[in-house]
């Protein structure tokens, strides 16, 4: 055939002939099927066919003339010229010999799959899916096309879509000559994901550029809803290095609302939207095994192409098989220079109006412009904050001049997210009601700097800190990081560091779970009591809402704590990540859902039932068991053996032994698979009996906040004595020096670091620690670089490590 090529006949060397999309499909079918990657078959109508249509119709010069005085910043001018050219191409006669080739290829598919076979008809331009420019969604795609005549119509529609307004604008921005870009059309057997699910996956984290994670999104029905941002999809992260070694490292699962699904229109060709039942919304669209299978395919595809990839997947609802339906190079983070990092920091507080998912890590400010339809985009002015339900490629002419973007719907692989990343514009997606809340608001600040997308009223001050990694000295003292929320782990892990000296479990429990563990353990008993007690009924309702995707409420706690810890463990792998076991005080535990049912009231919770004293207490021991099982899952199932544990507020060596014994009862055995157990040094007894604590634990981490509080005998939460709180007090410093010496003199020598606030706040305190010979200093992320430089200077001055 002259104008048609089977996918099996083309590969990456044929982009000029069949476009990026079709070349990639052929490449995978030819090379990756034998490695287990399933790709539906089909054929490509070549770029030569497009040229043939244009030449036979004699409209090439007419197209050139129509574009001669184009102004892509004049929306009406752009729309008028685009419409005129599309009409020209659409009405051009399709030559009979080309028609016959297309019919013949379609009949061959009918012989393979059955009469009137359903196909996807996708545009594939010769300048698309390049490593430097995605051209995402610039041309049209048609799903569930049936029959020869309908196919011929859609092929001509695809040819015409080379001149959509957004495609014209995008080519101008990227410097491509309109008449030197041609269009091929892919005709591919449909995957019946209308009866199951589909989505998008990346072999790199789309937000941070972290290269060791696969990011998967999915929703019910055909994948266009995920691509276009019509729904808020489920999200999954898988850690690649340990996946390749046979582990099951799913480090995040987040349930999306998935309110709509795109399905076949009855027995007709075409598609329609349908509401998703509430009970289906509360279920993940993929099982863990399917998530891992897709992640493995992502690794195979990435390894084959030698670059991060943007991939579309679909699950057939009839056969339950998974398929890859597209793959293209990722175009944002794969092009970035990682020699430094920019950190945006909000400088003042403001009134929170609405929030959603953050795209990128920037902050943007501007005047609000709520636009519901692309037909009104001429009303948009450069620098304004675009607020809309969702975007598609028709919005791109104004997206590129926006100060920030806010959408009601969409996930982090939707159109708005992809284009915002490519343009470097802060974007908050999936707010649900952003267009309603922000209507009438004059100015806003769009903050994506902290992992969650937040929109504040007014223009708030912010700053941009630039950290350059070039020529950073590497001191002998380990410079570790205090990790807060798991959402930031992939970004923070790329700042030069030696691991995590403190990851607080309570942060993860608060944000990922929010429920008292005993309420989950006793869920069934509480449900029975709920029939007669309104307060308990309210607790059950909240538990059900938060853990909707889990029938087993205990497993909900274990899985979500494990994923929070696992994401931090993955972000800093293979460096040590020291996870401090839960250190809620009774009043803090009481604030969790159901907490008031289990927590006593204490006059001074800071000095009460907290830390180690809880773990072996029969009243709390089952809850502590869930923490142990979560860490066991992280280390054994996910393979993240770089995760170590730390026991807080351990008052006596004997208490330490009880904790070690209790951990072993729940499957966490000190020393097994390299498991180290540290103790917080934050009570004077930890210092005075340091040699005895060193017999129990593998190392110490000085908690300077509590150690200062208990040394000086003051409540650090009290404003009345706050002026006396100072870690640099001589009494505190003497205790610090004493415990460092004791740890190093012990046989065997014990590691000792510090994870308190002092070294982050006071450079001179960091100098003091280095002079004492401390092994590691764990700091807040914003203090890492400056402290590293400071410590290197001190080491040079005192001759350490020379």
pLDDT in tens, 137-167: 567 889 999 999 999 999 999 999 888 887 8
The DSSP-derived string for 275-299 is: EPPHHHHTS-SS-HHHHHHHHHHHH
What does the alpha-carbon distance between residue 344 and residue 342 come to, in Å, rounded to a whole number? 7
The model's pLDDT over 268-310, given as tens digits with 9 standing for 90+, comes to 788 999 999 999 999 999 999 999 999 999 999 999 999 999 9
What does the alpha-carbon distance between residue 768 and residue 737 come to, in Å, rounded to a whole number? 9
Q: Residue 723 pLDDT more than 50?
A: yes
Q: Residue 174 pLDDT more than 80?
A: no
- Both tokens of 459, joined, read 């223009």
Task: Indicate left, alpha or beta for 476 from its phi (over 0: left) and psi (-120 to 50: alpha).
Answer: alpha
Rg value, the chain, Cα: 30
pLDDT at 1: 72
> What is the 8-class DSSP label of residue 306?
T
Question: Which range has the worst mean pLDDT, 471-480, 595-604, 711-720?
Answer: 711-720
Q: Is 335 helix (H, G, I), strand (E, B) or coil?
A: helix
What does the alpha-carbon distance between residue 99 and residue 149 come to, in Å, rounded to a whole number? 10
pLDDT at 333: 64
What does the alpha-carbon distance between residue 600 and residue 615 come to, in Å, rounded to a whole number? 16
pLDDT at 730: 96
Closest CA to 194 of 273, 288, 289, 280: 273
Q: Residue 331 pLDDT more than 80?
A: no
pLDDT at 503: 96
pLDDT at 267: 75
pLDDT at 172: 81
The model's pLDDT over 485-538, given as tens digits with 9 standing for 90+, comes to 898 899 899 889 999 999 999 999 998 999 999 999 999 999 999 989 999 999
Q: pLDDT band at 339, cuts 50/70/90? A: low
- Both tokens of 622, joined, read 């089952």
Q: Is 783 helix (H, G, I), strand (E, B) or coil?
A: helix
Question: What is the helix (H) or strand (E) element at residue 793, kind and residue range?
Answer: helix 784-798
Q: Which residue has the tokens 């996930």?
A: 411
Q: Is 251 helix (H, G, I), strand (E, B) or coil?
A: strand
pLDDT at 133: 46
> Of residues 333 and 264, which shows the higher confidence score?
264
Q: Is 415 one of the annotated active-site residues of the chain?
A: yes
The model's pLDDT over 87-96, given as tens digits with 9 standing for 90+, comes to 999 999 999 9
Count Cβ atoms within 10 A of the Cβ of residue 525 and give its class: 0-12 exposed, 13-18 middle, 19 or more buried: exposed
What does the alpha-carbon distance between residue 776 and residue 772 come to, in Å, rounded to a whole number? 11
pLDDT at 129: 45
What does the alpha-carbon distance between residue 424 and residue 514 come to, in Å, rounded to a whole number? 33
pLDDT at 391: 87
Choosing from 158, 414, 650, 755, which is the catalytic residue?
Answer: 755
Q: pLDDT band at 336, cuts 50/70/90? A: low
Choosing from 333, 361, 415, 516, which is the catalytic residue?
Answer: 415
How high does pLDDT run on average in the chain? 91
- Both tokens of 624, joined, read 């502590």
Q: Is 127 helix (H, G, I), strand (E, B) or coil?
A: coil
Q: Residue 578 pLDDT more than 50?
A: yes
535 beta partners:
none
Identify which of 168-172, 301-305, 340-344 has the greatest average pLDDT.
301-305
The model's pLDDT over 431-479, given as tens digits with 9 standing for 90+, comes to 999 999 999 999 999 999 887 899 999 999 999 987 777 778 889 999 9
pLDDT at 341: 73
> Of residues 782 and 223, which shows the higher confidence score?
223
Residues 6+ apart with CB under 8 A from 577: 483, 499, 500, 503, 565, 568, 569, 640, 642, 643, 644
Q: pLDDT band at 338, cuts 50/70/90? A: low
Count Cβ atoms within 10 A of the Cβ of residue 349 and give its class: 0-12 exposed, 13-18 middle, 19 or more buried: exposed
The model's pLDDT over 115-129, given as tens digits with 9 standing for 90+, comes to 999 999 999 888 654
Q: Residue 396 pLDDT more than 80?
A: no
pLDDT at 360: 83
Q: Residue 577 pLDDT more than 70?
A: yes
What does the alpha-carbon distance between residue 509 and residue 239 come to, in Å, rounded to a whole number? 21
What does the alpha-carbon distance between residue 116 and residue 614 come to, in Å, rounded to a whole number? 67
What does the alpha-carbon distance between residue 503 and residue 645 come to, in Å, rounded to a whole number? 9
Q: Residue 200 pLDDT more than 70?
A: yes
> Of residues 86 and 72, which shows the higher confidence score?
86
Q: Is 333 one of the annotated active-site residues of the chain?
A: no
The two beta strands, 452-457 and 352-359, are antiparallel
pLDDT at 198: 97
> What is the 8-class DSSP label of residue 35?
G
Beta strands in 625-754 (DSSP E): 643-647, 677-681, 699-702, 751-754
**pLDDT, average across residues 184-208:** 95
pLDDT at 138: 62
Q: Residue 55 pLDDT more than 70?
A: yes
Closest CA to 714 of 701, 723, 601, 586: 723
Q: pLDDT band at 337, cuts 50/70/90? A: low
Cβ(687)–Cβ(681) below 8 Å: yes
**pLDDT, average across residues 790-795:** 90
Q: pLDDT band at 375, cuts 50/70/90? A: confident
pLDDT at 335: 57
The model's pLDDT over 649-680, given as tens digits with 9 standing for 90+, comes to 999 999 999 999 999 999 999 999 999 999 99
pLDDT at 427: 94
């Amino acid at each position: 055939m002259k104008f048609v090529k089977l996918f099996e006949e083309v590969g990456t060397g044929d982009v000029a002939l069949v476009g990026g999309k079709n070349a990639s499909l052929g490449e995978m079918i030819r090379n990756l099927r034998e490695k287990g990657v399933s790709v539906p078959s089909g054929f490509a109508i070549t770029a030569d066919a497009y040229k043939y249509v244009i030449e036979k119709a004699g409209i090439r010069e007419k197209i050139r003339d129509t574009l001669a005085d184009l102004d892509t910043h004049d929306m009406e001018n752009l729309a008028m010229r685009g419409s005129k050219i599309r009409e020209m191409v659409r009405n051009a006669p399709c030559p009979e010999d080309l028609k016959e080739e297309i019919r013949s290829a379609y009949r061959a598919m009918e012989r393979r799959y059955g009469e009137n076979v359903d196909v996807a008809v996708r545009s594939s331009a010769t300048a698309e899916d390049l490593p430097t420019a995605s051209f995402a969604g610039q041309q049209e795609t048609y799903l569930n096309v049936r029959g020869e005549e309908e196919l011929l119509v859609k092929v001509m529609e695809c040819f015409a879509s080379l001149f959509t307004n957004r495609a014209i604008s995008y080519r101008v921005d990227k410097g491509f000559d309109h008449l030197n870009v041609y269009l091929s059309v892919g005709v591919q057997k449909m995957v019946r994901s209308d009866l199951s699910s589909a989505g998008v996956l990346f072999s790199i984290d789309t937000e941070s550029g972290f290269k060791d994670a696969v990011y998967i999104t999915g929703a019910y029905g055909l994948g266009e809803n995920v691509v276009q941002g019509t729904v808020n999809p489920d999200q999954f992260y898988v850690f690649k290095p340990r996946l390749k070694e046979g582990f099951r490292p799913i480090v995040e699962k987040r349930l999306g609302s998935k309110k709509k699904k795109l399905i076949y229109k009855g027995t007709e060709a075409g598609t329609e939207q349908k509401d998703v039942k509430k009970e289906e919304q509360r279920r993940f669209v993929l099982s863990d095994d399917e998530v891992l299978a897709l992640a493995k395919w992502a690794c195979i595809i990435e390894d084959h192409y030698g670059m991060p990839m943007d991939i579309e997947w679909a699950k057939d609802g009839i056969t339950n098989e998974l398929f890859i339906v597209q793959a293209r190079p990722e175009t944002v983070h794969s092009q970035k220079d990682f020699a430094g990092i920019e950190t945006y920091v909000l400088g003042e507080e403001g009134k929170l109006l609405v929030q959603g998912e953050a795209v990128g890590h920037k902050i943007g400010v501007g005047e609000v412009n709520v636009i519901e339809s692309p037909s009104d985009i001429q009303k948009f002015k450069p620098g304004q904050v675009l607020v809309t339900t969702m975007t598609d490629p028709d919005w791109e002419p104004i997206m590129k001049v926006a100060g920030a973007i806010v959408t009601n719907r969409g996930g982090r692989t939707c159109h708005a997210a992809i284009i915002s990343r490519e343009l470097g514009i802060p974007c908050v997606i999936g707010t649900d009601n952003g267009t309603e809340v922000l209507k009438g608001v004059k100015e806003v600040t769009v903050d994506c700097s902290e992992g969650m997308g937040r929109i504040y009223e007014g223009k708030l001050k912010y700053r941009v800190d630039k950290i350059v990694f070039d020529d950073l000295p590497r001191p002998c003292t380990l410079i570790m990081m205090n990790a807060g929320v798991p959402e930031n782990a992939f970004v923070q892990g790329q700042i030069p560091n030696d691991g995590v000296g403190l990851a607080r479990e309570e942060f993860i429990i608060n944000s990922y779970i929010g429920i008292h563990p005993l309420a989950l353990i006793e869920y069934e008993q509480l449900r029975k009591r709920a029939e007669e007690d309104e307060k308990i009924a309210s607790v059950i309702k909240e538990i059900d809402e938060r853990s909707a995707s889990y029938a087993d409420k205990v497993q909900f706690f274990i899985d979500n704590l494990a994923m929070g810890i696992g994401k931090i463990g993955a972000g800093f792998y293979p460096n040590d990540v020291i996870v401090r076991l839960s250190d809620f005080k009774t009043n803090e535990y009481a604030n969790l859902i159901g907490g008031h049912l289990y927590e006593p009231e204490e006059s001074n919770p800071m000095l009460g039932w907290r830390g180690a004293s809880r773990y072996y207490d029969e009243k709390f021991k089952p809850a502590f068991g869930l923490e142990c099982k979560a860490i066991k899952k992280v280390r054994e199932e996910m393979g993240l053996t770089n995760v170590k544990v730390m026991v807080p507020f351990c008052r006596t060596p004997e208490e330490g032994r009880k904790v070690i014994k209790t951990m072993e009862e729940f499957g966490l055995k000190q020393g097994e698979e390299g498991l180290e157990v540290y103790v917080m040094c934050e009570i004077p007894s930890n210092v005075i009996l340091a040699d005895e604590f060193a017999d129990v634990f593998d190392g110490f981490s000085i908690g300077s906040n509590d150690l200062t509080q208990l040394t000086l005998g003051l409540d650090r939460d009290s404003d009345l004595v706050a002026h006396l709180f100072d870690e640099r007090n001589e009494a505190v410093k003497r205790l610090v020096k004493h415990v460092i010496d004791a740890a190093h003199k012990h046989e065997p020598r014990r590691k000792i670091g510090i994870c308190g606030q002092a070294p982050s706040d006071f450079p001179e305190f960091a100098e003091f620690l280095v002079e004492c010979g401390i092994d590691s200093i764990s700091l807040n992320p914003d203090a890492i670089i400056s402290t590293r430089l400071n410590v290197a200077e001190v080491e040079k001055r005192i001759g350490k490590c020379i």
